Amino acid sequence: DRAVPFDDLVRWVTPFLVTRQVFTGAGRVGLGQHGEQAGYQLSQRADYIEAEVGLETTLRRPIVNTRDEPHADPVRWRRLHVIVGDATMLEVATYLRAGTASLVLWLIERATATGTGLPAIEALALRDPVDAVHRVSRDLTLAVPLELSRGGTVTALEVQRAYLEAVHQALAADGVTPDEQTVDVLKRWSDVLDRLATDPMSCSRDVEWVAKLRLLEGMRRREHLAWDHAKLAAVDLQWSDLRPERGLYHRLAAAGAVELLVDPREVERAAAHPPVDTRAYFRGEAMARYAGQVSAASWDSVVFDVPGATSLQRVPMRDPLRGTQAHVGALLDTCPDAASLLSALGA
């Protein structure tokens, strides 16, 4: 929500983004931007983060990017462009990355709306967030102390636990009964933090850096390999190969070694059928029903090229929660072509 002052957003979200790699990291063979040091770390991207806030995406990459392209109503929404996170193959890791971020952003929006602030989160301000990104990524014990701006130290797991507790306290203060998905995210968030604190290797089914490390350590033991061996770097690359017959993740998934949240058939269907409860429904249906009359489609608009019209006609979609099946499904069923749809919309 654009009502959240940008400085508050940066201050309150930074410790979360710095430390969430303990359960969202994809794992990486090599230390340094060019892998010049032998070793293994939690995150693929950590070594490439060089600034706290900035516009760049290829040089001096920041923790919080200032590229403000909301792809929605810019008066109401701000874009939080996150480039500090890894792309993950494990479904639970991806689910937690999105789910926990959503809850933290809700917490921040709530603090702005109520005027209560977030004193518990303020206390987590890191003295050097960029250095902390690197330190967390290179600490397989998850116990490295991170210096706080106000003095003292904290671990990445303690930071994550503080955010989790802040969400719980906010829900309790509002007297809100969370929906089923929120309950699940909160439970998984708490569970993974508990297991990482006591036995990180027990998280190999749902934390990607752990799953990859288990595979690599097995190979190192069998073949007596040092961390700078080319075979290990090759495994790191082959891990995320999208081809099911080549990707090592896919082999683990087929063997039941990682937790799957979604039926593969649902994934295949979703690739061709957008969700019915967002604006993606309207965009997808417009493409399917009026393909020959759609000139362009983007996040926030569909542009039609109607035969006989003197110019292209653009239908804006600035609200992500409009254009749903409930909103426009019946209307689309009454419009055999783009011209009739545009007439019905008053475009």
pLDDT at residue 221, as a whole number: 97
Per-residue pLDDT reduced to its tens digit, 134-145: 999 999 999 999
Task: Quote the CA–CA distance of 274 and 320 in Å, as a whole number.
Answer: 13
Q: Are residues 213 and 83 in the same domain?
A: yes
pLDDT of residue 329: 97
Q: Is 125 within a domain?
A: yes
Residue 192 lies in a domain: yes
Residues 18 and 125 in one domain: yes
The structure tokens 């919080």 sit at: 64
Asked if 131 and 225 sit in the same domain, the reply is yes
Q: Look at residue 25 in the predicted model and tell me its pLDDT.
A: 99
- Is 118 domain-assigned? yes
pLDDT exceeds cutoff 80 at 347: no
pLDDT in tens, 309-333: 999 999 999 999 999 999 999 999 9
| pLDDT over threshold 90, residue 68 | no
Residue 320: inside a domain? yes
Is 56 a member of any domain?
yes
Q: What is the pLDDT of residue 191?
A: 99
Burial string for 14-31 (b: 16+ CB within 10 Å, else e) reads: bbbbbbbbbbbbbbbbbb
Residues 35 and 88 in one domain: yes
Give residue 259's pLDDT: 98
Give the mean model confidence (pLDDT) for residues 239-263.
96
Share of the chain above pLDDT 90, in %: 94
What pLDDT does 59 receive?
A: 85
Confidence of residue 193 (pLDDT cuts 50, 70, 90): very high
Confidence (pLDDT) at 246 = 95
Please give the average per-residue pLDDT across 181-209, as a whole number.
Answer: 98
What are the pLDDT digits (tens) for 47-56? Answer: 999 999 998 8
What pLDDT, on the 0 to 100 scale, is given for residue 36?
Answer: 92
Domain count, the chain: 2
Residue labelled with tokens 């301000």: 125
Residue 79 located in a structural domain: yes
Q: Are residues 144 and 169 in the same domain?
A: yes
- Residue 163 pLDDT exceeds 80: yes
Q: What is the pLDDT of residue 152?
A: 98
Whether residue 226 is found in the same domain as residue 339: no
Please check whether residues 63 and 107 belong to one and the same domain: yes
Does the structure show a pLDDT above 90 at 58? no
The rounded radius of gyration (Å) of the Cα atoms in the chain is 23
- On the question of pLDDT at 57 being above 90, the answer is no
Q: Beta-carbon neighbour count of residue 74 at 10 Å?
A: 14
Residue with tokens 């940008």: 6
Q: Are residues 175 and 228 in the same domain?
A: yes
**pLDDT of amino acid 38:** 97
What is the mean predicted confidence (pLDDT) over 9-26? 98
On whether both 292 and 232 belong to a single domain, the answer is: no
Q: Which residue has the tokens 């967030």?
A: 129
Question: What average pLDDT does the chain have?
Answer: 96
pLDDT in tens, 92-105: 999 999 999 999 99
* Domain extent for 301: 272-345
Residue 266 within any structural domain of the chain: no
pTM (2 decimals)? 0.93
Cβ–Cβ under 8 Å, residues 166 and 158: no
pLDDT at 18 over 90: yes
- Which of 213, 234, 261 finishes a domain? 261
Decide if 241 is inside a domain: yes
Residue at which a domain ends, from 261, 292, 307? 261
Q: What's the confidence (pLDDT) of residue 256?
A: 96
Please indicate, yes or no, whether residues 206 and 283 belong to a single structural domain of this protein.
no
Task: Say yes or no: 10 and 157 in one domain.
Answer: yes
Same-domain status, 178 and 208: yes
Report the number of secondary-structure helices (H) and strands (E) in the chain.
Answer: 14, 9
Predicted confidence (pLDDT) per residue in 275-288, tens digit: 999 999 999 999 99
- Asked which of 205, 237, 261 is the last residue of a domain, the reply is 261
**Range name among 29-38, 67-76, 121-130, 241-250 with the lowest pLDDT average:** 67-76
- Token pair listed for 45: 């991207």
Indicate whether 107 pLDDT > 80.
Answer: yes
